[in-house]
Amino acid sequence: MNPDMVLIPAGWFWMGSDHHYRWESPRHPVWLDAFEIARYAVRRCEYAQFLSETGHPEPAGWLNPSFGKANQPVVGVSWFAAISYCEWLSKSLGETFRLPTEAQWEKACRGGLEGADYAWGNEPPNQIEYFQGEWTGPKRVGEWRPNGYGLFNIGDNVHEWCMDWYSEDYYAISPAKNPVGPETGARRVSRGGSWRHQIKASRAAHRSSLPPQHAYTDYGVRLTCISRDGSIMPRQCRSSDSTV
């Protein structure tokens, strides 16, 4: 299945926030080369093809009806499983798919809005009807409006794995151009909100992380691809841990 990719133009953007948590600061300018990112998170039907062709173990909660709709984002995927999916899809389609770097994810989430808290602007999610009530699982992809880049559910519905190792203090030493995260770590970056949380969308600058072997049913995957003009390829840092 060919993912629907959106080109994010090269340029500077403001990353982070000085008004919330310490690990989101300092707010700093970042240059990113052009890259492509998927319009939607990887869907269950797409991941099912990967399982069928590779025999890879099923994600956590795979048989739970709450996560069983074809157009829901796949959940229960560890960071290692996400990497395996990227490698399979790259080989299948003859292109190079990766997880986004943390900087790529935040720029994509912001959708060209400088200084806004959320992908859609500054209106808090608890004031938006779509996010009200208790959800028993993730919504189908594309049910709510896209951001300025045409990306759906980036910042809500499921947490999304990023390529980078996580460090609370990384922004203090991060390079200004094409940052790819620390060299080592114990946790991988994740971004975005979750269907399970009372507040189901997160601010664009909000940072979270998880050990890469963990597989939770509110964690999903969004892909990036090397831009057709040959720009940045995020490095794929495998740890010495066994893959899951």
Length of the chain: 244
Per-residue model confidence as pLDDT tens for the chain (244 residues) = 789 999 999 999 999 999 988 999 999 999 999 999 999 999 999 999 999 999 999 999 999 999 999 999 999 999 999 999 999 999 999 999 999 999 999 999 999 998 899 999 999 998 999 999 889 999 999 999 999 999 999 999 999 999 999 999 999 999 999 999 999 999 999 999 999 998 889 999 999 999 999 999 999 999 999 744 444 444 343 333 433 3
Quick check: is 47 in a domain?
yes
Q: Which amino acid is at 3?
A: P
Quick check: is 244 in a domain?
no
Quick check: is 100 in a domain?
yes
Quick check: is 241 in a domain?
no
Quick check: is 35 in a domain?
yes
Q: State the CATH number of the domain containing residue 27.
A: 3.90.1580.10
Helices marked H in 94-220: 102-110
Quick check: is 17 in a domain?
yes
Which residue range(s) make up the domain with 42? 5-225
Quick check: is 232 in a domain?
no
Quick check: is 234 in a domain?
no
Rg (C-alpha) for the chain, rounded Å, is 17
Taken in order 182, 187, 56, 37, is the CA torsion positive or negative? negative
Q: CB of 131 within 8 A of CB of 200? A: yes
pTM: 0.92
What is the number of structural domains in the chain?
Answer: 1
